[in-house]
């Protein structure tokens, strides 16, 4: 099996390292596409995508270049040419779900284990479970960077700014961390998990997403005083036939499973009719965990053992999730939504649907769900 890598950053290097160290049989990396010319003697490196797309001996592509373009165009072209694609690119995949249908049409594999929850075998298990079970809901901690920041705040007692700086210093956060801390990254992953669990194509913009970027010392103190911590959680689930999904910070009790997931670890939970509740915890990012997930997909393709997508089509997403919410806002909220005022700018809501609050919520407000 001849494989080309698109991109050779952290993830791509993980893949080539593991193949080399473990002497994985039958998987040969024959081309590596990079943006700029590499000064080395490895003849596999190229900056010309044409050398990959036009090479009929290459049957499988690993896309780990990140970003929407040119990744999308390259992947699309590869699938159209009948090449299997393994992708770690959550943003591109979530925005171009048509690729999954294209792969099916061309009878090739599009496998994406590495795109969601790094090393955790989440996508393959969702696809497998849904073969004989009905998944009812999924939720979890899907962003290692914000979890690292939140763990720093609550375990090491440092400020948001210091925790973010530390995350950047240790390579857990990008120079521009907005996708991670604003909840967008989690939203991409929820889209992909919705496809694996429910067979539905969700449109990113329909999923309400808020991150931890507006988190202030007020919420941190409130959590501490009430023996809780804050976690950024993505979730999706059916209720009375309607699929709701959102990404929100949550106040969770100390000692709960959520509170045990520290550092840049991820937590993935699914609830289904027969299996009940299943939780997976592991590394959500990093060269080797993510490289390992790509290799799992590659070996599945090699052995013709890949998990299957069961695509049923597009689905409208609602914000019907019912809970009590914590809100910090200087704007008007109707009294009937308010259960308890914490101080002049923050309150706990009565049990209500997220959509009931969204009407009054402004971009600069902080909102979190109470567990």
Just list the catalytic residues.
Answer: 189
Total residues at interface with a second copy (CB under 8 A) = 41
65-73, 186-194, 276-284, 333-341 -> range binding a second copy (CB under 8 A): 276-284
Binding a second copy (rule: CB under 8 A), the pick from 52, 129, 182, 220 is 129
Closest listed residue to residue 329, CA positions, set 201, 166, 219: 219
CB of 44 to a second copy, least distance (A): 20
CB of 291 to a second copy, least distance (A): 7
46-54, 196-204, 297-305, 335-343 -> range binding a second copy (CB under 8 A): 297-305
Record the tokens describing residue 181, joined without a space: 């801390």
Q: Using CA atoms, how far apart are residues 283 and 14, in angstroms rounded to an integer?
A: 14
Binding a second copy (rule: CB under 8 A), the pick from 59, 77, 101, 128 is 128
Applying the rule CB under 8 A, the residues between 245 and 264 that interact with a second copy are: 254-257, 259-260
Q: Is 234 in the site for a second copy (CB under 8 A)?
A: no
Q: Is 199 in the site for a second copy (CB under 8 A)?
A: no
Q: Is 140 in the site for a second copy (CB under 8 A)?
A: no
Residue number, 23 or 359, with CB nearest to a second copy: 23
Residue number, 14 or 211, with CB nearest to a second copy: 14
CB of 35 to a second copy, least distance (A): 26
Residue number, 248 or 270, with CB nearest to a second copy: 270
Binding a second copy (rule: CB under 8 A), the pick from 20, 105, 132, 155 is 132
Binding a second copy (rule: CB under 8 A), the pick from 68, 133, 320, 324 is 133
E runs forming strands in 27-173: 28-33, 45-46, 60-63, 84-87, 110-111, 135-141
Residue number, 98 or 155, with CB nearest to a second copy: 155
Q: Is 136 in the site for a second copy (CB under 8 A)?
A: no
| Virtual torsion, Cα 70, 75, 77, 78, nearest 10 deg | 140
| 3-class SS letters over the chain | CEEEEECCCHHHHHHHHHHHHHCCCCCEEEEEECCCCCCCCCCCEECCCHHHHCCCCCCEEEECCCCCCCHHHHHHHHHHCCCEEEECCHHHHHHCCHHHHHHHHCCCCEECHHHCCCCCCHHHHHHHHCCCCCEEEEEEECCHHHHHHHHHHHHCCCCHHHHHHHHHHCCCCCCCCHHHHCCHHHHHHHHHHHHHHHCEECCHHHCEECCCCCCCHHHHHHHHHCCEEEEEEEEEEEECCEEEEEEEEEEEECCCHHHHCCCCEEEEEEEECCCEEEEEEEECCCHHHHHHHHHHHHHHHHCCCCCCCCCCEECCEECCCEEEEEEECCCCCCHHHEEEEEECCEEEECCEEHHHHHCCCCCCCEEEEEC
Binding a second copy (rule: CB under 8 A), the pick from 103, 222, 286, 317 is 286
Residue number, 125 or 146, with CB nearest to a second copy: 125
CB of 26 to a second copy, least distance (A): 11
Q: Is 126 in the site for a second copy (CB under 8 A)?
A: no
CB of 131 to a second copy, least distance (A): 5
Q: Is 9 in the site for a second copy (CB under 8 A)?
A: no
Cα 97 off chain centre by:
15
Applying the rule CB under 8 A, the residues between 48 and 77 that interact with a second copy are: none
Q: Is 152 in the site for a second copy (CB under 8 A)?
A: no
Residue number, 259 or 346, with CB nearest to a second copy: 259
Residues near a second copy (CB under 8 A) are: 14, 18, 22, 24, 119-121, 125, 128-129, 131-134, 254-257, 259-260, 273-283, 286, 288-289, 291-292, 295-296, 299, 304-305
């Amino acid at each position: 099996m001849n494989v080309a890598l698109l991109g050779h950053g952290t993830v791509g290097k993980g893949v080539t390292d593991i193949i080399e160290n473990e002497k994985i049989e039958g998987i040969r990396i024959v081309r590596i596409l990079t943006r700029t010319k590499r000064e080395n003697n490895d003849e596999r490196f190229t900056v010309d995508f044409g050398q990959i797309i036009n090479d009929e001996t290459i049957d499988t592509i690993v896309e780990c270049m990140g970003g929407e373009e040119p990744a999308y165009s390259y992947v699309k072209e590869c699938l159209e040419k009948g090449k299997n694609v393994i992708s770690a690119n959550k943003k591109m995949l979530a925005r171009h779900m048509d690729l999954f249908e294209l792969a099916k049409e061309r009878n090739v594999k599009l496998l994406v284990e590495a795109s969601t929850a790094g090393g955790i075998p989440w996508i393959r298990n969702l696809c497998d479970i849904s073969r004989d079970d009905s998944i009812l809901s999924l939720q979890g901690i899907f962003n290692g960077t914000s979890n690292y920041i939140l763990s720093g705040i609550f375990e090491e007692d440092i400020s948001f700014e210091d925790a973010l700086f530390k995350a950047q210093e240790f390579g857990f956060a990008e120079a521009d961390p907005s996708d991670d801390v604003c909840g967008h990254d989690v939203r991409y992953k929820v889209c992909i998990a919705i496809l694996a669990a429910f067979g539905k194509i969700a449109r990113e913009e329909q999923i309400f997403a808020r991150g931890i970027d507006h988190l202030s010392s007020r919420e941190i103190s409130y959590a501490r005083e009430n023996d809780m911590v804050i976690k950024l959680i993505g979730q999706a689930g059916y209720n009375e036939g309607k699929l709701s999904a959102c990404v929100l910070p949550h106040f969770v009790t100390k000692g709960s499973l959520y509170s045990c997931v520290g550092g840049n670890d991820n937590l993935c939970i699914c609830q289904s009719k027969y299996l009940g509740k299943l939780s997976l915890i592991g590394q959500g990012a990093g060269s080797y965990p993510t490289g390992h997930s790509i290799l799992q997909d590659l070996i599945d393709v090699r052995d013709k053992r890949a998990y299957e997508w069961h695509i049923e089509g597009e689905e409208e997403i609602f914000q019907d999730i019912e809970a009590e919410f914590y809100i910090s806002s200087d704007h008007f909220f109707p009294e009937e939504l308010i259960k308890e005022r914490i101080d002049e700018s923050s309150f706990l809501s009565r049990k209500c649907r997220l959509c009931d609050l969204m009407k009054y919520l402004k971009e600069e407000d902080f909102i979190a769900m109470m567990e």
